[in-house]
Amino acid sequence: MVDICPKCGLIREICSCDILEKEETQRIRAYATKKKFRKLVTIVEGIDKSKLMETGRELKQKLACGGTAKDGIIVLQGDQRRNIKKFLVQFGFPESAITVLEGLQ
């Protein structure tokens, strides 16, 4: 059976609704901060809640670190700011919508 997109009515293989949705609405912000016992963590905000768990799981796997995705944010162990933008672009988020803040917050 052919899978059809409920938004546009096209076949899922040629549908671009997800890409357009990401480009229009999302502003992703990543920054590092210190938590308990002066441990560094990377916070990623602005990812749509429907994609939050999936994106968090993929980021943890690609960056080889632990973390969690809840309350609208992804928390990754360690300072992952150097590589985070590259992987978010690979997952289909537009590069212009991703802001990586320097320095500790």
Please give the single-letter amino acid code of residue 26.
Q
CATH of residue 96: 3.30.780.10
**Residue 15 covered by a domain:** no
Tell me the pTM: 0.73
**Residue 41 covered by a domain:** yes
Domains contained in the chain, number: 1
Are 83 and 61 in contact by the 8 Å Cβ rule? The answer is no
**Residue 32 covered by a domain:** yes
Cα 86 from Cα 98, distance rounded (Å) = 10
Domain hosting 56: range is 27-104
Q: What are phi and psi of 67, to 5 degrees?
A: 160, -170
**Residue 22 covered by a domain:** no
pLDDT tens for 40-74 read 999 999 998 888 999 999 999 999 999 999 999 99
pLDDT tens for 34-45 read 988 889 999 999
Helix (H, G, I), strand (E, B) or coil at 58: helix
**Residue 50 covered by a domain:** yes
Are 29 and 102 in contact by the 8 Å Cβ rule? The answer is no
